[in-house]
């Protein structure tokens, strides 16, 4: 029986890349994002290219009705979801003291409350079938404190580590994927032109490489995946350097 993955934030960036690579592996897809037109175009392209079933589910995960629709899809026993990729997210300026608190609350909800609700919806069916994979897209920012973005991603890592230990013996793995700076449209959506993000060229990763390496770690059942040797080394350094230096270094880009 064909397996199915549900991916949030699937219309662009890492979400679209996860969709492409999972389609290449023959997985059916449920693509979730706010942009219905972009979702439909991606679903049509992947179906034509790989012959897999692609369902476009347009939903705003910060809207109660939108979230409820995705929760219901995850709980549909007649159409089981074998992999959940919690990828939806956005960034804010690092200056917490000047950010609109409503934006910060939306940021917290999308990165913590929403994936928590979706994991809770997916787990009962996965555990009953004794198979399933949950992928939580976090960030190396969780290891190199970056205002509230690093904080919310830190929650994802901590919960994923616990959940992988708790549920792996029952057939379900949970992996936090922690990319560094990756070429997607994430920074453009924050109003930054490509090349003007304040990040050295050597720190940028290719989205296809990030997803491919993370999926290898997911297949191995790892709790935490840090794609690329350069970021593995940087994360290791954060464990020995003083907070003041780590925070200063992490503040170089936006």
Please list the active-site residues.
149
**What CA–CA distances, in Å, run from 167 to 60, 130, 156, 161?**
29, 9, 16, 10
Give φ, ψ of 196 to 5 degrees. -120, 30
């Amino acid at each position: 029986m064909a397996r199915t993955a549900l991916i949030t934030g699937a219309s662009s960036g890492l979400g679209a890349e996860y969709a492409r690579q999972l389609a290449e592996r023959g997985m059916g897809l449920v693509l979730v994002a706010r942009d219905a037109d972009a979702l439909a175009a991606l679903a049509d392209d992947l179906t034509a290219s790989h012959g897999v079933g692609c369902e476009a589910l347009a939903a705003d995960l910060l809207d109660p009705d939108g979230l409820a629709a995705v929760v219901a899809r995850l709980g549909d026993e007649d159409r089981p979801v074998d992999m959940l990729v919690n990828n939806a997210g956005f960034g804010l300026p690092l200056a917490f003291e000047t950010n609109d608190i409503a934006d910060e609350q939306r940021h917290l909800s999308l990165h913590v409350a929403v994936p928590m609700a979706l994991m809770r919806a997916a787990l009962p069916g996965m555990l009953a079938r004794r198979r399933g994979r949950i992928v939580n897209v976090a960030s190396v920012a969780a290891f190199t404190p970056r205002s509230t973005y690093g904080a919310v991603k830190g929650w994802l890592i901590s919960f994923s580590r616990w959940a992988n230990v708790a549920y792996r013996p029952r057939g379900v793995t949970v992996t936090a994927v922690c990319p560094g700076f990756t070429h997607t449209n994430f920074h453009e959506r924050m109003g930054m032109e490509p090349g003007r993000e304040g990040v050295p060229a050597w720190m940028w990763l290719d989205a296809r490489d990030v997803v491919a390496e993370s999926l290898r770690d997911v297949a191995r059942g790892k709790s935490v995946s840090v794609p690329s040797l350069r970021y593995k080394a940087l994360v290791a350094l954060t464990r020995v350097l003083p907070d003041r230096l780590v925070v200063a270094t992490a503040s170089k880009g936006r």
